[in-house]
Amino acid sequence: QQQVKQSPQSLIVQKGGISIINCAYENTAFDYFPWYQQFPGKGPALLIAIRPDVSEKKEGRFTISFNKSAKQFSLHIMDSQPGDSATYFCAAKKGSGTYKYIFGTGTRLKVLA
Amino acid sequence: DTAVSQTPKYLVTQMGNDKSIKCEQNLGHDTMYWYKQDSKKFLKIMFSYNNKELIINETVPNRFSPKSPDKAHLNLHINSLELGDSAVYFCASNQQGTEAFFGQGTRLTVV
């Protein structure tokens, strides 16, 4: 119930292509779904986040699609660039009074030049 | 101006030693966390403090003891280090309802 399942584990995309990473959750009490980007030797940094009252959120080349009924959400990176090569984590949090983020297992993205 | 800073960045130590990792945040956040990232990049929460009070203590061996002298600092002390403790430890902070900000991590290697 507390897990967030993330796939794929690794992804290789050509420059200019679309990268898609998927996450699924079970706990319907989750109400905040961020995506974090982590470069080697750095801490995770917030990329984009969504709440379940919207089905899509776009920021530049990054889009979250959210399917509440299926309990799934995904990150789309349009026009992927070599600089996007990093590990991406989806996460979920339950309520503003809760202090625990549950992270997915991560996806290592490599964008080929 | 670093928002969440950890020291040291690298720590190499022998089995059985005791070591500490320090974390400070200058964001004015009430909540701070310690996460452990293993070799497969999996991020697992260890502890969470809110206003110096322990809120979350996941199933972490009691060799790990967090201490929060004030809400801007959360330190992690580890006794009797074991090989399996080798990992990257991340400190993070947030304000209720907002995203978590992570530090740069401390790579702990136990030899």
Q: Which residues of A touch B39 (CB under 8 A)?
A: none
Give me the pLDDT at residue A1, please: 57
Q: Which domains does chain A have, with CATH numbers?
A: 4-108 (2.60.40.10)
> Domain range holding B65?
4-110
Q: CA nearest A110: which of A86, A78, A88, A79?
A: A86
Could you say which residues of chain B have pLDDT below 50?
Answer: none
Taking CB atoms and an 8 Å cutoff, what residues of chain A touch B42? 103, 105-106
Say if the Cβ atoms of A106 and B41 lie within 8 Å.
Answer: yes
- What is the distance between the alpha carbons of residues B15 and B111, in angstroms, rounded to a whole number? 6
Which strand (E) or helix (H) includes residue B50? strand B43-50
What is the average pLDDT across A37-53?
A: 93
Q: Which chain A residues are within 8 Å of B31, Cβ to Cβ? A: 99
Q: What are the DSSP E strand ranges found in A15-106? A: 19-25, 33-38, 45-50, 56-59, 62-67, 72-77, 86-93, 101-103
Give per-residue pLDDT as tens, A48-87: 999 989 999 999 999 999 999 999 999 999 999 999 999 9
What is the distance in angstroms between the Cα of A105 and the nearest Cα belonging to chain B?
Answer: 5
The upper half-sphere exposure of residue A47, i.e. CA atoms within 13 Å in the direction of its Cβ, equals 26
pLDDT at A98: 60
Number of domains in chain B: 1
Tell me the CATH number at B31: 2.60.40.10
Which residue among A43, A100, A101 sits closest to B103, beta carbon to beta carbon?
A: A43
pLDDT of residue B59: 78
Give the Cβ contact number of residue B106 at 10 Å.
22
In this prediction, residue A3 carries a pLDDT of 87
- Among A28-32, A93-97, B18-22, B38-42, where is mean pLDDT lowest? A93-97
Instruction: Name the token pair of A85.
Output: 């090569």
